[in-house]
Amino acid sequence: MLEAKPSVLILMATYQGERFVEEQIESFAAQQHQSWALLIADDGSDDRTLERIRAAMAMPALRTHHWSLLKGPRQGAAANFMFLLSEANRRIAAGESDAQYIALADQDDIWLPTKLSSALSDMHQIDRSRAALWCSAVHFWNGQASRHSQSRSLSPGKPLGFGNALVQNMIRGNTLMLNRAALDLLTQTETNLPLVMHDWWCYLLMSACGARIFYSDQPSVLYRQHPGNVIGAASGWSDRAKRLSFMLRGGFANWNRVHLMRLNEVMRRHPSVFGPEAVEQFLIFERMLHAQSAIERLQLLKRGGFYRQTRAENLSLRAALVLGKF
């Protein structure tokens, strides 16, 4: 049975968001689950973002919700979210927050009213001592058309796991929720090494450590599409073609180097965190990236059980490996 009102701490990273942030905050007010607080880190906005935030939180429907506004590290969205996660963990440990769950929010989306309640319903299925991550599909939204007639993201065709996470990010950070065990794991293993994307890192770490990963096929967010998106949605063939081109030009190779550094650092500092299967997969992945011949790379791809979610994506992965661009 779902507990009455588990507390959620919403973490929102903002930067130059004056056009969008009020509408996002209003969607928090419209949530069916109302036991939440809000922690915002602004990354140095010089527009009216902060003014818009204060105006929104002064609305009658939001006055009862505790909220805080911090100065972000000014190193980009990923670093800002990692800063927020660290601060959330500190506040919980210090007794300044009673949050049992952490939900990430982009400044420019719209949460659907059942976003929190749906996530909590799924997350409550497991023991709190086990790390858990929840994410969902999204509706793509141009900010103008009807909210009820939007295209939606494709659902995973294969299970989410470490073998997928090493070669593809399937976690949409704007839908992500963590329980406290996952937050502890994420912050205790954090390093100062470079980061590709905070949501991809969450997927890599949680899947390597045996966390429970929930994916809801029901969209929980209107994902606003506009030129300022930090990471595109890849919602159309044109976007997918661009990502394929990016992979074949070696863009993933740079990301892989970052992931290798971070994962190796976690294994060095916390040798018991990864499960034995994940350790074996990671070592094969390293060998695959460093292999000199295309044949050996393809053999290690199969041996390690690495996969992307669609046939076309797996073909592009093989092509990049053959060309030595992955």
Span 164-212, pLDDT tens digits:
999 999 999 999 999 999 999 999 999 999 999 999 999 999 999 999 9
Residue 238 has a pLDDT of: 66
For 235, the token pair is 């919602």
Strands in 31-168 per DSSP E: 36-42, 67-71, 101-106, 110-111, 132-136, 139-141
Enter the DSSP assignment of 127.
-
Contact 206, 95 (CB under 8 A): no
Residue 292 has a pLDDT of: 95
135 DSSP β-pair partners: 215
85-108 confidence digits (pLDDT tens): 999 999 999 999 999 999 999 999
Read off the pLDDT band of 242 (50, 70, 90): confident
102-135 confidence digits (pLDDT tens): 999 999 999 999 999 999 999 999 999 999 999 9
14-70 confidence digits (pLDDT tens): 999 999 999 999 999 999 999 999 999 999 999 999 999 999 999 999 999 999 999
Of 26, 15, 84, 31, nearest in space to 58 by CA:
26
For 238, the token pair is 């044109």
Residue 1 has a pLDDT of: 39
Could you give the 3-state DSSP secondary structure of residue 250? coil
Q: β-strand 101-106 against 67-71: which pairing, if any?
A: unpaired
- Mean pLDDT, rounded, of the chain: 93
Residue 5 has a pLDDT of: 81
- The answer to whether residue 231 scores a pLDDT higher than 80 is no
What's the CA gap between 266 and 212, in Å, rounded? 19
- The answer to whether residue 2 scores a pLDDT higher than 50 is no
Residue pointed to by tokens 């205790």? 188
- Amino acid identity of 296? E
Of 142, 166, 167, 172, nearest in space to 154 by CA:
172
